[in-house]
Amino acid sequence: MLLQELKTKGIEVIFLDGIYFKVSPKEKITPELMEEITKQKQKIIQLLKQKAPAFTCPICGNKKYKWNVSKDVWVCESCGMLFKHAKDSDSDIKELSRYLEEFLKQHRGYVLVKSEVLNETIAWTLPAYIKHLQNKGYVCYLPEELACIRQLAPTPDAFRKIHMAKKMFEGKITIQ
Ligand SMILES: [Zn+2]
């Protein structure tokens, strides 16, 4: 099956707007492979549609996903959030939380995410930077909270409610 073949070859598939896709990196795509991809284009789109998250990214409101072939997860192109097709188990929450922690470390401790869903910029941060960011007026989300939000898989509207509650009570999001 072609998708599997692409994965084996370390080729990334980027699925855009649920309509079309891009493959990269270019140097790994031979003319023969390109011909095969073109031939099977519709079939690939169908498969991607089955695998892609059905919802808009609840954090930032975007619909662009990059399929991380090695981890078999989807990454929101805009904010970097991870999505899995199936509902995550508890161990996946820990795994996602660790991934986000690493991601933040690579970005010097925090990132500011412009959210179309909230019409506001929020901060994803390691605990060390919370005070600093709160003083600047950002609502802060820690890696484990983001992982929990992912587990809840909220609609954009539900995420707005979670955010409002967090803002009002400065509480922490957890899953029982
Ligand atoms: Zn996003």
For 2-57, give the secondary structure using H, E and C: HHHHHHHCCCEEEEECCCEEEEECHHHCCHHHHHHHHHCHHHHHHHHHHHCCCCCC
- How many whole angstroms separate alpha carbon 23 and alpha carbon 136? 40
Question: According to the model, what pLDDT value does residue 113 have?
Answer: 92
Range of 39-43, 48-52, 57-61, 125-129 with top mean pLDDT: 125-129
Both structure tokens of 80: 């970097």
DSSP state of 64: E
Question: According to the model, what pLDDT value does residue 2 have?
Answer: 79
Question: According to the model, what pLDDT value does residue 99 have?
Answer: 85
- Flag whether 151 is in a domain: yes
Phi, psi of 82 (to 5 degrees): -95, 145
What is the CA(78)–ligand 1 centre distance, in A? 5
What is the CA(67)–ligand 1 centre distance, in A? 13
Question: According to the model, what pLDDT value does residue 71 have?
Answer: 66
What is the CA(82)–ligand 1 centre distance, in A? 9
- Flag whether 140 is in a domain: yes
What is the CA(76)–ligand 1 centre distance, in A? 5
Residues 6+ apart with CB under 8 A from 104: 110, 111, 124, 125, 126, 143
What is the CA(170)–ligand 1 centre distance, in A? 22
- Flag whether 147 is in a domain: yes
What is the CA(141)–ligand 1 centre distance, in A? 14
- Flag whether 159 is in a domain: yes
Question: According to the model, what pLDDT value does residue 22 have?
Answer: 86
Is residue 27's pLDDT more than 80?
A: yes
Both structure tokens of 52: 């892609």
What is the CA(157)–ligand 1 centre distance, in A? 14
What is the CA(30)–ligand 1 centre distance, in A? 32
Among residues of the chain, what percentage have pLDDT more than 70?
A: 85
Is residue 148's pLDDT more than 90?
A: no
- How many whole angstroms separate alpha carbon 91 and alpha carbon 8? 25
What is the CA(109)–ligand 1 centre distance, in A? 18
Q: Tell me the residue length of the chain.
A: 176
How confident is residue 175, by pLDDT bands cut at 50, 70 and 90?
low
- Flag whether 139 is in a domain: yes
What is the CA(99)–ligand 1 centre distance, in A? 15
- Flag whether 121 is in a domain: yes
Question: According to the model, what pLDDT value does residue 45 have?
Answer: 86
- Flag whether 156 is in a domain: yes
Range of 69-78, 133-142, 143-152 with top mean pLDDT: 133-142
Is residue 85's pLDDT more than 60?
A: no
Going from the C-alpha of 144 to that of each of 66, 82, 150, the distances in angstroms are 22, 13, 10
Is residue 44's pLDDT more than 80?
A: yes
What is the CA(36)–ligand 1 centre distance, in A? 31
- Flag whether 162 is in a domain: yes
Pairing of strands 140-141, 120-125: parallel
Give the number of domains in the chain.
Answer: 1
Per the structure, the complete domain to which residue 134 belongs is given by: 88-176
Interval 122-132 mean pLDDT: 95
Question: According to the model, what pLDDT value does residue 1 have?
Answer: 63
